[in-house]
């Protein structure tokens, strides 16, 4: 029995052998070659005097164009989401050495923090991360390094990507790797047990990757991988732009206000419009009809604005006006909306018009394009074992599911 055995897996409607080669399930992904070599951890391994040392590297994608977001939550009860994983990845490294004392060191490079604590007395500086590390119940010294490779507060599901990568790494460190559904479920649980409001679609996208439709009966979700025709996927890759508006979204009070309204029974019409838009988006992608997909993006965006006008910030409105002037086929604020964050924009079909839109976006101070491949693979994890008693050589292997 491990700390992870009590949490039910999430369901995937499509088996791995039916998936495109670039969108295989997490347990079939090769080790991530961009996550570094064991040598870059030399400064930390020297602080541990006896082997073996287990080095685990994990990465998970973020997502964009989350049509149906808001319906994957406890207050919506049920929902449908269509989203696209992008290769803008959260990266985590876990180093563990067996021993009697349960000592933890956290490096959170996004904030510049580096602190240590006894596992029995976590300080609460980052409750979700600390809770996940302690709950893994790793016997011995543990060092967790969270990279600063993602745009925090961008509305791309970055916190969920960090948690999925962290949960996968911790599970691998104790020799109990999880499949994609289990990883998503446990990562979501770790966020909610510490009191954070969280839907499930971000964790699912980070765990499975790809282009997906999710049907939710909170907290359970069933995933369908969407097979987009090659020509449509090539056009989507060239024309779907994720625009970061220059500042992290900071709208927790606004979101709490919206949640309270939904919990009181208001806003069901807007939620139903979002569910319908998500189903339409999924159908349009499978059919290769990007004009229809763009309309689904706008339907979901309009529903978010109707839910609360503050969910579409001034910068997002400016971008949408610019996109409309350049003939864009659709747009949607990413995530829950609010000030700052990012917007997904489906540019015009004409290459010259789309290039003009991109140039106009790049010319705006503070705005930037998130340049990342669409349909990115889900969480990927690799393990290295260094035995300091026998020399510096290490044995490296890919993590496989149980």
Query: Each residue of 44-75: pLDDT tens digit?
Result: 333 334 568 899 999 999 999 999 999 999 99
pTM, two decimals, is 0.85
Residue-range domain boundaries for the chain: 11-398
Q: How many CB atoms lie within 10 A of CB 127?
A: 16
Please enumerate in sequence order all residues whose Cβ is within 8 A of that of 241, keeping only pairs 6 or more positions apart, or say none: 344, 345, 346, 347, 357, 358, 361, 369
Output 391 or 66, whichever has higher pLDDT: 66
Residue 219, preceding bond cis, omega within 30 degrees? yes
Residue 205 — very low, low, confident or very high, per pLDDT cuts 50/70/90?
very high
Q: In the predicted model, is pLDDT for residue 21 greater than 80?
A: no
CA distance 164 to 55: 17
Q: In the predicted model, is pLDDT for residue 396 greater than 90?
A: no
| CA 46 remoteness from chain centre | 32
How would you class 381 by CB atoms within 10 Å of its CB: exposed for 0-12, middle for 13-18, buried for 19 or more? buried
Q: In the predicted model, is pLDDT for residue 251 greater than 70?
A: no
Please enumerate in sequence order all residues whose Cβ is within 8 A of that of 187, keeping only pairs 6 or more positions apart, or say none: 160, 163, 164, 166, 167, 203, 206, 207
**The predicted structure's pLDDT at residue 101:** 84
Least confident of 88-97, 146-155, 253-262, 323-332: 253-262
Provide CATH code, domain 11-398.
Answer: 3.30.230.120
């Amino acid at each position: 029995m491990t700390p992870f055995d009590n949490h039910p897996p999430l369901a995937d409607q499509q088996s791995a052998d039916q998936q495109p080669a670039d969108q295989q399930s997490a347990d079939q992904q090769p080790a991530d070659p961009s996550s570094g070599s064991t040598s870059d951890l030399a400064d930390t391994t020297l602080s541990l005097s006896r082997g073996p040392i287990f080095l685990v590297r994990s990465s998970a994608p973020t997502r964009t164009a989350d049509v149906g977001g808001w319906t994957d939550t406890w207050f919506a009860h049920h929902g449908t989401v269509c989203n696209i994983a992008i290769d803008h990845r959260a990266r985590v490294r876990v180093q563990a050495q067996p021993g009697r004392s349960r000592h933890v060191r956290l490096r959170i490079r996004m904030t510049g923090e580096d602190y240590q604590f006894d596992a029995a007395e976590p300080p609460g500086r980052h409750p979700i991360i600390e809770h996940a590390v302690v709950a893994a119940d790793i016997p011995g010294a543990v060092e967790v390094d969270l990279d600063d490779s993602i745009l925090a507060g961008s509305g791309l599901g970055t916190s969920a990507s960090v948690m999925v990568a962290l949960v996968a790494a911790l599970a691998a460190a104790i020799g109990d790797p999880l499949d994609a559904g289990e990883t998503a479920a446990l990562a979501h649980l770790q966020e909610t047990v510490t009191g954070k409001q969280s839907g499930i679609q971000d964790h699912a996208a980070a765990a499975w990757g790809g282009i997906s439709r999710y049907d939710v009966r909170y907290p359970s979700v069933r995933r369908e991988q969407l097979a987009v025709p090659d020509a449509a996927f090539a056009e989507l890759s060239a024309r779907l732009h994720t625009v970061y508006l220059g500042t992290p979204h900071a709208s927790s009070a606004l979101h709490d206000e919206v949640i309270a309204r939904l919990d009181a029974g208001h806003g069901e019409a807007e939620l139903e419009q979002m569910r319908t838009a998500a189903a339409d988006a999924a159908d349009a992608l499978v059919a290769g009809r990007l004009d229809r997909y763009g309309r689904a993006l706008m339907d979901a965006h309009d529903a978010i604005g109707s839910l609360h006008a503050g969910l579409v910030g001034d910068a997002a409105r400016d971008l949408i006006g610019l996109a409309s002037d350049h003939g864009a086929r659709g747009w949607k604020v990413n995530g829950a909306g609010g000030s700052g964050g990012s917007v997904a924009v489906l540019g015009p079909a004409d290459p010259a018009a789309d290039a003009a839109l991109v140039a106009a976006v790049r010319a705006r101070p503070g705005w930037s394009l998130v340049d990342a491949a669409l349909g990115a693979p889900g969480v990927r994890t690799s393990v290295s074992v260094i035995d300091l008693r026998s020399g510096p050589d290490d044995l490296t292997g890919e993590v496989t599911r149980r």
